[in-house]
Amino acid sequence: MVKSSLPKNQYWIRKRPIMSVGSFKNYWENPWSIEIDGLVEKNLELSYDDILKMPQSKVEYDLHCVDGWSVPDMKFDGILVYDFLNSINAKGALYLWIESIDGYTSGVDIEELLDEKAIFALKIDSQKLTAGDGAPMRLITPKHFAYKGAKWIKKITLTNQFKKGFWEQRGYHTRARVFEDERFAND
């Protein structure tokens, strides 16, 4: 196992825990679709098959939780945020507002997602995401704490207005950059 540098106040674990703000269930509804609106050429509703037609990438990132643990060398397959935005004809938005099937929300800065090569993951370790992993699609943000990466995504709005997501409304940092130890609003 080759570990990258460990951020301040983090420790390595070997196996990632399954975490959720509430109980989770299998949100893999057939047919699943995702709604895209806001600053796009036209509003879209995309099926899982539509998502699979977008450029696919494989990446390896460490996953960092605000609780202090980090899992090294996780392998994800999916669509890089850059490719996703090009595929949906995004129109100069500054932020993504992501809504999950379970009511979870996350506001993320697009420029930072592009800089870190964030990915909308469909697989972990070459296996389709499970319910606990956020199936059918979740956002992975390697330079941010994992709470910025919503699971069970049902809607993405492209906007120029930042909105605080689920954890930010409860006192967590709005940027959540892991290597700057941005955990709480006053950090």
Read off the CATH number of the domain in which 47 is found.
3.90.420.10
Q: H or E stretch including 51?
A: helix 48-52
Which amino acid appears at position 177 of this protein? R
Reported as a single tens digit per residue, the pLDDT across 112-146 is 999 888 999 999 999 999 888 888 999 999 999 99
Would 136 be classed as within a structural domain? yes
Would 72 be classed as within a structural domain? yes
Would 17 be classed as within a structural domain? no
Rounded-to-integer distance, Cα 56 and Cα 37, Å: 22
> How many structural domains comprise the chain?
1
Terminal CA-to-CA distance of the chain, rounded, Å?
32
Please identify every stretch of the chain with a pLDDT value under 50, giving residue numbers as ranges.
1-2
Show the domain range for 72: 32-180
| pTM: predicted TM-score of the whole model, two decimal places | 0.91
Structure confidence at residue 109 (pLDDT): 95
Closest of 97, 70, 66 to residue 171, by C-alpha: 66
Reported as a single tens digit per residue, the pLDDT across 158-167 is 999 999 999 9
Would 186 be classed as within a structural domain? no
Q: Which residues contact 181 (CB under 8 A, 6 or more apart)?
A: 7, 8, 9, 187
